[in-house]
Amino acid sequence: MFGYVKPFKDEMKIKEWDEFRRFYCGICVSLSKKNWISKFFMTYDAVFFSILLAAINQEEHVQNKKICFFTLSKVRYFDSKSIDYATNSFLLLLKYKLLDDYADEKKILRKFLANFFPKKLNIFTESFQEKVRILLSKLNEIEKNNSKDLDEGAKVFGELTGLFFEDKGKTEDERIILKHLGESLGMWVYLIDAFDDLEKDVKKNAYNPFVSAFGYGGEDVNEFKDRIRPMVREKLYSLLNEVVLSYDLLDVIKHKGILDNIIYLGLFNETERVLAGKRICRRL
Amino acid sequence: MQIENALAIFGINDDVTFDQLERRYAELLEKYSAKRYENSALKDIAYKKLNEVQKAYEIIKSHAQNKQDKYLFSYHNRGFNRYPYSYYYRRQPDCGCPDCGDLCTACACIWATDTCCECAGGDCI
């Protein structure tokens, strides 16, 4: 839900880039069919998820054309089951996140936006939705309690992503691999997002796992970042290693170029960017 | 295991050389090696994959027709000599085929074809 899982464009082939754009537009179109407002919350993570599902299920896509009002040009987009599933899981997470934020900070706008979401996301069973709700409230509690453990929040968030990944495996082995992949990727996303938002959180006095785990004592934020950077780098790379190991065991034939690019180059590139504290200077 | 499945595990088609097969095998062995997955929770699955790769390698080896030949079991053994694209696009005068001599012959051929065509009432150029 944060937009850190994206390809490294410089190393991509043009045909892979075109395919990626079609997935991206497919997600956007699929979102706007279900709920127009959620379009503005869209991230690259959902795109990666849909490509991974399409690669595992070896799906054939239907390609359509449409005039896009944001870019004012004709776009080609894919339409398939995996894109639909990725959209639905994204919406489910977004809805509960908005409601959670409302309960937390009493922002009326969040509640207002959440009202627009479809009441039932049919493809998920009630027990699955219940699991998601429990995990999100657990996460909320950890943030409220100001937990000193670095891994505690990350693990819960990893479990959450693992839940969505695991659901789509065909064989038993594949489910285990996908779950492991989802868990480590979720932990990585949670921690990298926390490091990226460190300054903001210190200013707002909000919860951040690094602040409580490494004992931030009112010094300059940049000094604090310099101090913890080696530990954070080690942690992030150990999680990325798990991601790569589990991805290597998957049988990916279709869209291999894009997925390889994201897993082997995009994630490492993003880690280095966030650790160096650089902002994104151009649109992907 | 069928030979097609074995080739699919290696991710190669049946038109590769022995060298390429060996290189790919070494790559896969390293990819699924026990040392890499030492501390991982996916150790068992990696071990399964490694066994699969080794089995596939044996099958491909046993199916390869002539071990002395450079190619595994390619079109070269089926009497179809496919040459690389570069030959196709840049044929040399001494390539051995009677059709493409030099530029002069080619021009003459085109002229003759055009004349024939026009005689018949058409217009090809």
ipTM metric: 0.75
A246 close to B (CB below 8 A):
yes
pTM of the entire structure? 0.80
Q: By CA distance, what is B36's nearest residue in A? A: A245
* Partners of residue A166 in chain B, C-beta under 8 Å: none
Give the mean model confidence (pLDDT) for residues A120-142: 81
Q: How far A178 CA lies from chain B's nearest CA (Å)?
A: 11
* Partners of residue B32 in chain A, C-beta under 8 Å: 248-249
Choose, out of A248, A251, A253, the residue to mutate when testing the contact with B (most B CBs < 10 Å): A248
Give the A window 177-236 contacts with B, CB below 8 Å. 177, 180
Residues 6+ apart with CB under 8 A from B57: B6, B10, B25
- Judged by CB atoms closer than 8 Å, whether chains meet at A245 and B32 is answered as no
- Judged by CB atoms closer than 8 Å, whether chains meet at B31 and A248 is answered as yes
| pLDDT recorded at residue B90 | 47
The C-alpha atoms of residue B28 and residue B50 are separated, in whole angstroms, by: 8
Choose, out of A178, A238, A243, A246, the residue to mutate when testing the contact with B (most B CBs < 10 Å): A246
pLDDT at A35 over 80: no
A238 close to B (CB below 8 A):
no
Based on the number of CB atoms within 10 Å of its own CB, is A177 exposed (0-12), middle (13-18) or buried (19 or more)?
buried
Give the mean model confidence (pLDDT) for residues A156-160: 90
- Residue B44 tokens read as 């068992």
Q: How far A199 CA lies from chain B's nearest CA (Å)?
A: 34
Which carries the bigger pLDDT value, residue A2 or residue B4? Answer: B4
The C-alpha atoms of residue B104 and residue B117 are separated, in whole angstroms, by: 20
Region of residue A283 (left: phi > 0; alpha: psi -120 to 50; beta: else): beta
- For A135, how many CA atoms within 13 A lie in the half-sphere containing its CB? 20
- Residue A80 tokens read as 């398939």
Q: Which residues pair with A166 in a beta bridge?
A: none
The C-alpha atoms of residue A123 and residue A88 are separated, in whole angstroms, by: 8
| pLDDT recorded at residue A52 | 92
Q: What are phi and psi of A77, to 5 degrees?
A: -140, 155
| pLDDT recorded at residue B125 | 67
| pLDDT recorded at residue B96 | 54
pLDDT at A145 over 90: no
Q: Which residues of B touch A (CB under 8 A)?
A: 31-32, 36-37, 40-42, 45-46, 48-49
Which carries the bigger pLDDT value, residue B106 or residue A135? Answer: A135
- Can you tell me whether residue A79 is helix, strand or coil? strand
Give the mean model confidence (pLDDT) for residues B15-42: 85
Q: Which residues pair with A68 in a beta bridge?
A: A73
Residues 6+ apart with CB under 8 A from A118: A34, A35, A91
Residues B62-105: pLDDT tens digits?
877 655 555 666 555 444 455 554 444 444 555 555 555 667 77
Give the mean model confidence (pLDDT) for residues A207-234: 85
